[in-house]
Amino acid sequence: MMIFHDKRIRDLKRKVKLLFALSLALVFLLPATVYSADRLYFVSMVEHDVFSGDPQVLLEWGPLEGNIPSGITAFKLYRQTDSGPFVLLDEISNVPATPAGIRDIILGDNDERRRADLLNVLNDVSSAQTPPGPDITEDNFYFFLAELLDSASKNYNPLQRMLLIRYHPGVARAAGLAYLDRDVAVSSKYVYMLTAITGKDESLPIGKSSTILPADPTLLPAPTGLRQVRVADCSSIKKNLDDLRIHFNWDVPVDPQDISLKVLTYGYDLFWAEENMGIVDLRQGIPAGLHKVNTKPIVVAGPAPATGADSYLARDSEENHASGPAWQRGQHFFYYLAARDMAGHYSMTGGPLEGVVVDTQPPAAPWRLHTEELSQIVEGHATPRLALVWDQVNPINYIRYFGTDRAICSSDDKQVCTAPSEAACVNEAAIQCTDLDVIKYHIFRFLSPADAASWGTDSDGDMWPDNLEKEAGTDACDPAQMPHNSPPARLIATLDQYDDAFQRSLADKHRQMYYVDTDLDVNDYNRVYYYRILAEDPAGNFSPLSPPIRGVLYDRTQPVVEAGMKALDCGNYFAEQQMTELYREPDDILTLVDKTGKAGRFIFRRLCVGGSTYIPDETVLSGRMENGFAHITAASFADGECESTGCSGGSVTGYKVLFYDERNLTMTEASVVLNMAGLCAAYHGAVILDGLCLWTDITPGMVASGPLQVCAGLEEGETARVYYETGGEMSPVSTIPYNPDPDNNGQSCIEVADMGGLVTSDLCMGVRVFSENHVGSGMYYFNCLEMMPPEGGAMPPSPIVEGLYSKENAEAEPYFDLRWSAPAEGQAAFVIALKSENTTRYQTIFPKPADTSGQFSTSLMLNGANDLDKEWCVRLRAISTSMQSSPWSQETCATWTSAEPENLAWPRMQEPVETGSIAAFFMNEQPGYGRPALVLSSDVSPLLAAIPCDDGVSCLSKVPVCDGTDVCVKKILEDDQWYDEPVNFKNKLACNYIEPMIAAKNFVLYRQEEGKDFVQVSPLVKDFTCDKYTFLSGGGSTVGEWVTYYQVRDPFYFLRHFEANAVGGVDGTTGVAIDPAVATGTRMIFLDRYPYVYTSTIRYKIVFFDPETGEPKTIRTSNWLTLP
């Protein structure tokens, strides 16, 4: 390579400095005064004539940048043969040849392949012109090419001219920038030198080649550094630039010592093959199995950028693969690269490079992730464990879970393609393909929902999300850089998709992944963790993180029961004398007061003693208690008693009063202090009899008649459930919360006061303790006890006989159909007396426990031979659950006759019409607790938010909020009574706006458990109630400000504001969780207070009644609801 400095320096130094690089190239600078310091190249190449096989030397020159200086009119080329002198070979004009000259040069080239390539290129240039040019053939190409080389032509393009010159040596010769030396001998060696002609002057040599041996054809070295690259870097937004493509880069000569190689290289061709073809030589032609990627040579001006969307030199895609293996993600191909020199010959071939079709599509996120509790045997002991379970990501599972509402267009072992319908499968735009080619799962465990939610996208595959790497100051695109220089602690496991140790089969081809978190132990009991899973495909793509799933390793230790039961014994009486005149009447000297209402009579006695001789107490006075009082006056005593101060044969030590009940049993006695001056000397106050109720431990054989108290030793978080035996099974009756009572040795107690709904005798009860994780103990049984009706209890009312009707059964046997009603609840049995003129028959009927309608019927069979055509009279009495009998009902008489119509004529009643549905949900109140409820209104939040209430805030703020963590409908204590918490508004508009939004009024609610009949769970609910409540704010009776509230205080309607966590339960039909949207916001609800069975599936039916006729009018049925 030779570099010339400008003319002034040359004139001063009179010296030419030659710099040689490769034997193929020479680069130089022409004098600045003439040539504007433009850099030119001078290269030589040896090739063989394709027709004769003789060697020939091609010499080319031209500008590296810019143009040939305009002052140069011609070039002189000199040749030195062996060691002889330089001889002028030819003078080449710097003016393009004429069309005829161009034709002779191009057609004189014996390389037909090279000529055909030129015609194709010229056709491409012609078709790209505006308007398109002519079709180029051997008959007209020279005219078209002459225009392209002529700077004065309208079709002249400097860049296009330069590329054509470098593409074909004939074009270079036509432009005056090349010379073909065919007169060379194989046995000789040559050196060429180039000078420039400017006017009448000839420059010193501006280019000189190294020694050229015609026996050695020029062969460029193979391109180096062929590699597959990614152009999207780690950008998730640009990742589709790489998807389903292969981008290539290689080393481009840029160093000064490689400039001749750069000049000689016109462009590059890239080839692909199905398999590794070893070393390939393209100089003899393209072998079978090798396919060109690019249709035109890849002309490279310089190396590609290191990063970014343009950081590649070539790209392969599906359009280049009409044959061979299908172009799909992860498919492997082999690539070869060759340079094309300025004479159109291939260099040595680089490669092979094994390339992989890029896959940037993430697989589907794991689905149906949930946790399971199990036990593992560790060192011989059962150890609680928490397991993660999810469906294995594969096409079978995907179609099973997601394919029900879409048509399957195609599927294989890596992906499933679906469309909204089978008809849409022909529309490529409507098809959605899901990547299911998964090889690994990465499991993350988090300590809080916020931590789990903030775990973002990981772009570089180091398992750290980009947001946390940014906070830590590490490169989110460099997997070698990560916070703390280690993988995140939240990453607890990586599972292989095909490892059988982490799989289990539920059905044919239905497999689940299964991972046991063995890091958790007893120290992690009851601690909530959150898990998320990433799926990874063979290309290293990560799926979206699965939604956080909550996992808890609950303490399942069974609680120990320490419990006891007591009965309230109110048979403890006491009496005492009080110096009060509260009960005194004018002549009283002593007043007896009975606060128990059970005393029937009294005895007033004098206590006597006489030395060592026993003297019995003397009765001074006796009498009856009237309306709870006895007034003793002086006239009450016998003559002389008022003045008596002694006993018969002894002295008086004191006085006492004894009280007796109606059965003449002693209740208690009280000592009386009297004025010793005489009985009637003064008023001695009142002797007051009162009762004392004490809780008494249950003992075998004990008979109780009042409430029961059940106590259990509970730890914080534990509860206890009280059961009673009915129908041979233990049924829950009450729940004991944790509420330690110091008076009961710290045990938590509850009073079971409503005994009427239990049984009347042989009451057997038990208790179970439940941990805060709802682990129940075994049943702890108490001693059974007899329950007697409370003293003084009212008798139940008599049944009402509605009719006695003659009937026959299918066997033509006569009987009376007896129908009656019982006005009171809690009937345990009915006794029926059927009487004729000389006989009475008794029958006991036990109604079904679920029959709460109050309407009953039974069949009274008759003897067809003796009981017909005579009058029979029937009467009934009811037996309550406290074993109290009602009076006999009035008699109803009838004579059986076959003339009785078969069916009774019932009044015509219109069938109620089904008018729609109503939403049922499970109201979460505490973890594991809640109650079923129905939504009775739409969301009234916008209405209440617009109404001002107390202190200028909106009325919406007055509505209690239910968030699923506490009791939603709470109790408050008012006047020693517990009531449901009301909602207080200071604006009557609140009630006026709410009332029209309520969709259910004048109705009765029925509940149905799956597989059973409907049962009534509400009385007739007539209308919504909003009470006006006025009171003094100061708390006194005369001082303070009068305040008026409008209270939503209805025993059946509850207004609450529900957040999403308060809405629970599962749709019993679909198995999907109830959508929180059905109840979120401010709603009026109906709360089902009746007991229910855990995990049962129920639904409700509301029957609406006509307020005028009282007849059923319409029906609305709820969704099926599975309770937790």
User: Which whole number is the average pLDDT over 570-578?
Assistant: 85
> Is pLDDT of 820 > 80?
yes
Residue 747: predicted pLDDT:
94
Average pLDDT over residues 127-149: 91
> pLDDT by residue (tens digit) across 776-818?
999 999 988 877 655 545 567 888 888 888 888 888 889 999 9
The pLDDT confidence band at residue 97, using thresholds 50, 70 and 90, is: very high
| Residue of 785, 790, 789 whose CA lies nearest to 724 | 785
32, pLDDT greater than 50: no
Q: How confident is the model at residue 907 (pLDDT cuts 50, 70, 90)?
A: low
- The predicted pLDDT at position 408 comes to 92
* Gap between the terminal Cα atoms of the chain: 89
- How does residue 4 score in pLDDT terms, banded at 50, 70 and 90? very low
Secondary structure class of 795 (helix, strand, coil): coil
Phi, psi dihedral angles at 178 (to 5 degrees):
-155, 160
pTM of the model: 0.54
pLDDT of residue 580: 87
- Report pLDDT for 904: 58
Q: Is the peptide bond before 131 cis (omega within 30 degrees of 0)?
A: yes
Burial of 993: CB neighbours in 10 Å, binned 0-12, 13-18, 19+: middle
In the DSSP assignment, the letter for residue 526 is: T
In 3D, which of 216, 192, 183 has the Cα closest to residue 26? Answer: 192
Task: Read off the pLDDT of each residue in 265-287 and give the average, rounded to a whole number.
Answer: 93
343-352, 738-747, 768-777, 897-906: lowest mean pLDDT where? 897-906
pLDDT tens-digit map of 148-170: 999 888 888 988 999 999 999 99
Judged by DSSP in three states, 8 sits in helix
Q: Please state, in angstroms and rounded to a whole number, the distance separating the CA atoms of residues 704 and 685.
A: 36
Average pLDDT over residues 207-215: 90
Structure tokens at 1093: 């069975």
Whether the per-residue pLDDT at 746 is higher than 60: the answer is yes
In this prediction, residue 793 carries a pLDDT of: 53
Q: Which domains does the chain have, with CATH numbers?
A: 7-208 (no CATH), 227-356 (2.60.40), 361-391+438-455+490-556 (2.60.40.10), 394-436 (no CATH), 580-684 (2.60.40), 695-787 (2.60.40.10), 800-895 (2.60.40.10), 913-1122 (no CATH)
Q: What is the pLDDT of residue 788?
A: 66
Examine the pLDDT at 1039 and tell me if it is beyond 60: no
From CA 38, how far away is CA 61, in angstroms rounded? 13
Name the maximum alpha-carbon separation found in the chain: 183
What's the pLDDT at 883? 63
Least confident of 357-361, 394-398, 894-898: 894-898
Asked if the model's pLDDT at residue 95 lies above 80, the reply is yes
Taking each helix axis from N to C terminus, what angle separates 112-128 and 158-167, rounded to the nearest 10 degrees? 160
How confident is residue 28, by pLDDT bands cut at 50, 70 and 90? very low
Q: Tens digits of per-residue pLDDT, 311-345?
A: 899 999 999 999 999 999 889 999 999 999 988 89
Say whether 103 sits in a helix, a strand or coil.
helix
Q: What is the mean pLDDT of residues 1066-1093?
A: 89
Element (H, E) at 411: strand 407-411
Contact predicate 1115/1103, CB 8 Å: yes
pLDDT number for residue 903: 61
Band of the pLDDT at 10, cuts 50, 70, 90?
A: very low
**619 pLDDT higher than 90:** no
Residue 202 has pLDDT above 50, yes or no: yes
Residue 420 or residue 1027, greater confidence: 420
CA dihedral (739, 740, 742, 743) positive or negative = positive
Q: Which of 129-143, 266-280, 877-891, 944-958 has the lowest mean pLDDT?
A: 877-891
Q: Looking at this protein, which amino acid is placed at residue 598?
A: K
Lowest mean pLDDT among 10-14, 715-719, 867-871: 10-14
CA 105 vs CA 168, 466, 1100: distances in Å: 11, 63, 99
Instruction: Tell me how far apart the alpha carbons of residues 1001 and 691 are, in angstroms, rounded to a whole number.
Output: 47
How many CA atoms does the CB half-sphere of 639 hold within 13 Å? 0
For the ranges 217-226, 479-488, 574-583, 968-977, which has the lowest average pLDDT?
Answer: 968-977
Q: Give per-residue pLDDT as tens, 458-473.
A: 888 888 998 888 888 8
pLDDT tens digit sequence for 510-554: 899 999 999 988 888 888 999 999 999 998 899 999 999 999 988
Under a CB-based contact definition with an 8 Å cutoff, are residues 166 and 342 in contact?
yes
Average pLDDT, the chain: 84
At 404-419, the pLDDT tens digits run 888 999 998 889 999 9
Q: Which residue has the higher pLDDT, 1109 or 87?
A: 87
Q: Do 338 and 292 form a contact (C-beta atoms < 8 A)?
A: no
Strands (E), 200-313: 201-202, 207-208, 227-229, 246-249, 265-273, 291-292
pLDDT at 945 over 90: no
pLDDT value, residue 17: 28
Q: Give the DSSP per-residue string, 534-594.
A: EEE-TT-PBPPPPPPEEEE----PPPPP-EEEEEEEEEEEEEEEE---TT--TTEEEEEEE
Residue 138: CB partners within 8 Å, gap ≥ 6?
107, 119
Residue 331 is predicted with a pLDDT of 93
Residue 216 or 753, more confident: 216
In percent, how much of the chain has pLDDT > 90? Answer: 38
Q: Which long-range contacts (CB under 8 A, 24 or more apart) does 646-651 make?
A: 647/606, 647/608, 647/609, 647/610, 647/615, 647/618, 648/608, 648/615, 648/618, 649/608, 649/610, 649/613, 649/615, 650/608, 650/609, 650/610, 650/611, 650/613, 650/615, 651/608, 651/609, 651/610
Pairing state of beta strands 666-672 and 650-661? Answer: antiparallel
8 pLDDT above the threshold of 50: no
pLDDT of 794 = 58
**Average pLDDT value for residue range 756-760:** 49
Task: Write down the pLDDT at residue 801.
Answer: 87
